[in-house]
């Protein structure tokens, strides 16, 4: 930030009133000359909804349009509690009324089919186009079906991934309900990076909670392509305590990941695990940035979108920012909390830059709570900063392996509070 801009910036803070984000950024409203700037946000999930909301809070004169095909957003966080019968689908379903009515975000329910990066226009399935000065992309993930022979979008109707919440969540729950006692459930999780790395373990735990009550002779086999980790150790301890003998973990890392699937016989084949057959098969495929990111020329050969972590600007396309699961922001994990934190920082950066300034370096945060049972949860939290142009973790950690039942119960309460807080914030509920 130049000295002149810094002085103007401070004057503006006094004149326009200060908006404070949880990221610790103080911002003026948008300067008059840029008041009619148009920002289009693609994807109304954790990153996109949060970014749209904060753009309008930082700069109430800015025209912000959020494009999201679905009228309601169903969150992946807490979807495992639906599988366990602890919560309903209604609990994890949210609408866009708050963003529309309380923030003045224009909501367009449509699919983005293409982006003209030269003319700076977003092309919609409905036939119209939306011009932008800045574009924010938060399209989440797509699946690399081609990496598992025999698996496809079509076979996910038989072996659901339930890694995008909604119809897939309901399907997996119905399969669990229909399964006989004594059945085997296979949860096959992909290698990193993928969205929500501890969520397959939470899923195994909460399915075990359901089975323990209603089908106690059943078994869960977790084929894990991520291998051993600190988080896994915490879960294994909990499984031993809560679901002795019910959850078996198999190391699918080191070339052991699932390479083929047969929906007819409900079997999976991995190099180290051989061919295994389940009664319910939850096949979570390897992942990449949402398809529209590739169409827009935002992905590199890793399948994800490289960005400058200071403002989440794409390093491949001008005036486009990528946030959430789709962007490369390691060591930040791909979580809803990360996406929300990135959405706020990206919003602050866009407003700062439209005002002629440069985004200052700030801290980034994430956390993830996981349930092992209704009264038993664990968590991890991390804080990051940019050093030499790269995000580095500066603090954080996870729940201790040794903790009392009271502590685990407290964490379960915090998890519920976290969910209420983040969904109220991202959907601008009152």
Ligand X SMILES: Cc1cc2nc3c(=O)[nH]c(=O)nc-3n(C[C@H](O)[C@H](O)[C@H](O)COP(=O)(O)OP(=O)(O)OC[C@H]3O[C@@H](n4cnc5c(N)ncnc54)[C@H](O)[C@@H]3O)c2cc1C
Q: Which residues are at the interface with ligand X (CB under 6 A)?
A: 42-48, 67-70, 73, 76-77, 79-80, 111-112, 138-140, 163, 195-196, 199, 290, 292, 324-326, 334-337, 339, 368-369
Q: Which of residues 28 and 193 has its CB atom nearest to ligand X in the complex?
A: 193
Minimum separation from the CB atom of position 140 to ligand X (A): 3
Q: Which of residues 48 and 160 has its CB atom nearest to ligand X in the complex?
A: 48
Q: Which of residues 12 and 84 has its CB atom nearest to ligand X in the complex?
A: 84
Minimum separation from the CB atom of position 17 to ligand X (A): 29
Taking the C-alpha atoms of residue 273 and residue 271, their distance in angstroms, rounded to an integer, is 6
Name the token pair of 225: 């392509």
Minimum separation from the CB atom of position 372 to ligand X (A): 13
Half-sphere exposure of 102 (CA within 13 A, CB side): 15
Taking the C-alpha atoms of residue 286 and residue 275, their distance in angstroms, rounded to an integer, is 19
Q: Determine the Cα angle at 106 with ends 104 and 108, to 5°.
A: 155
List Cβ neighbours of 24 (8 Å cut-off, separation of 6 or more). Answer: 362, 363
Minimum separation from the CB atom of position 6 to ligand X (A): 33
Name the token pair of 426: 């991202």
Cβ atoms of residues 423 and 256 within 8 Å: no
List Cβ neighbours of 154 (8 Å cut-off, separation of 6 or more). Answer: none
- Give the three-state DSSP class for 73: strand
Minimum separation from the CB atom of position 152 to ligand X (A): 19
Taking the C-alpha atoms of residue 417 and residue 169, their distance in angstroms, rounded to an integer, is 22
- Give the three-state DSSP class for 276: strand
Backbone angles phi, psi at 19, to 5 degrees: -105, 125
Minimum separation from the CB atom of position 417 to ligand X (A): 12
Minimum separation from the CB atom of position 48 to ligand X (A): 5
Q: What is the dihedral of CA 149, 154, 159, 164, to 10 degrees?
A: 110
- Give the three-state DSSP class for 41: strand
- Give the three-state DSSP class for 77: coil
Taking the C-alpha atoms of residue 235 and residue 330, their distance in angstroms, rounded to an integer, is 23
Q: Which region holds residue 190: left if phi is over 0, alpha if psi is between -120 and 50, else beta?
A: beta
Minimum separation from the CB atom of position 421 to ligand X (A): 11
Q: Which of residues 63 and 68 has its CB atom nearest to ligand X in the complex?
A: 68
Cβ atoms of residues 44 and 62 within 8 Å: no
Q: Which of residues 12 and 281 has its CB atom nearest to ligand X in the complex?
A: 281
Q: Which of residues 31 and 82 has its CB atom nearest to ligand X in the complex?
A: 82
Q: Which of residues 296 and 348 has its CB atom nearest to ligand X in the complex?
A: 296
Cα distances (angstroms) measured from residue 222 to each of 178, 227, 247: 20, 11, 7
Q: Which of residues 73 and 143 has its CB atom nearest to ligand X in the complex?
A: 73
Cβ atoms of residues 83 and 162 within 8 Å: yes
**Closest residue to ligand X: CB criterion:** 45
Q: Which of residues 29 and 285 has its CB atom nearest to ligand X in the complex?
A: 285
Q: Which of residues 31 and 162 has its CB atom nearest to ligand X in the complex?
A: 162
Minimum separation from the CB atom of position 139 to ligand X (A): 4
Minimum separation from the CB atom of position 94 to ligand X (A): 11
């Amino acid at each position: 930030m130049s000295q002149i801009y810094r002085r103007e910036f401070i004057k503006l803070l006094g004149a326009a009133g200060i908006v404070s984000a949880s990221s610790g950024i103080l911002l003026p409203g948008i300067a008059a000359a840029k008041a009619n700037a148009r920002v289009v946000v693609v994807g109304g999930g954790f990153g996109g909804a949060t970014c749209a909301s904060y753009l309008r809070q930082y700069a109430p004169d800015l025209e912000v349009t959020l494009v999201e095909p679905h009228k309601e957003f169903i969150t992946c966080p807490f979807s495992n509690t639906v599988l366990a019968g602890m919560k309903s689908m209604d609990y994890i379903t949210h609408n866009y009324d708050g963003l529309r009515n309380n923030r003045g975000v224009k909501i367009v329910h449509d699919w983005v089919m293409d982006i003209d990066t030269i003319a700076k226009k977003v092309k919609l399935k409905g036939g119209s186009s939306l011009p932008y000065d800045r574009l924010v992309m938060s399209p989440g993930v797509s699946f690399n079906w081609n990496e598992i022979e025999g698996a496809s979008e079509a076979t996910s109707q038989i072996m659901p991934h339930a890694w995008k919440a909604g119809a897939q969540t309901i399907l997996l729950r119905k399969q669990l309900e229909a399964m006989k006692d004594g059945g085997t459930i296979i949860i096959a999780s992909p290698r990193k990076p993928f969205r929500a790395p501890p969520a397959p373990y939470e899923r195994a735990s909460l399915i075990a909670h359901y089975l323990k009550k209603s089908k106690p002779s059943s078994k869960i086999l977790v084929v894990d392509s991520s291998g051993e980790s600190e988080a896994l150790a915490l879960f294994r301890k909990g499984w031993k305590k809560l679901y002795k003998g019910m959850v078996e973990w198999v190391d699918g890392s080191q070339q052991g990941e699932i390479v083929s699937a047969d929906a007819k016989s409900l079997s999976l084949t991995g190099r180290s695990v051989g061919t295994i057959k389940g009664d319910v098969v939850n096949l979570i495929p390897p992942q990449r940035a949402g398809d529209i990111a590739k169409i827009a020329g935002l992905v590199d050969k890793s399948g994800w979108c490289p960005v400058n972590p200071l403002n989440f600007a794409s390093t491949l396309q001008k005036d486009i920012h990528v946030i959430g699961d789709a962007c490369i922001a390691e060591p930040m994990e791909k979580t809803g909390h990360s996406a929300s934190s990135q959405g706020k920082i990206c919003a602050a950066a866009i407003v700062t830059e439209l005002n002629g300034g440069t985004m200052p370096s700030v801290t980034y945060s994430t956390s993830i709570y996981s349930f092992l049972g209704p009264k038993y949860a664990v968590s991890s939290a991390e804080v990051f900063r940019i050093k030499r142009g790269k995000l580095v973790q500066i603090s954080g950690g996870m729940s201790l392996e040794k903790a009392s039942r009271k502590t685990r119960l407290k964490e379960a309460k915090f998890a519920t509070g976290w969910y209420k807080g983040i969904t109220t914030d991202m959907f601008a509920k009152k």
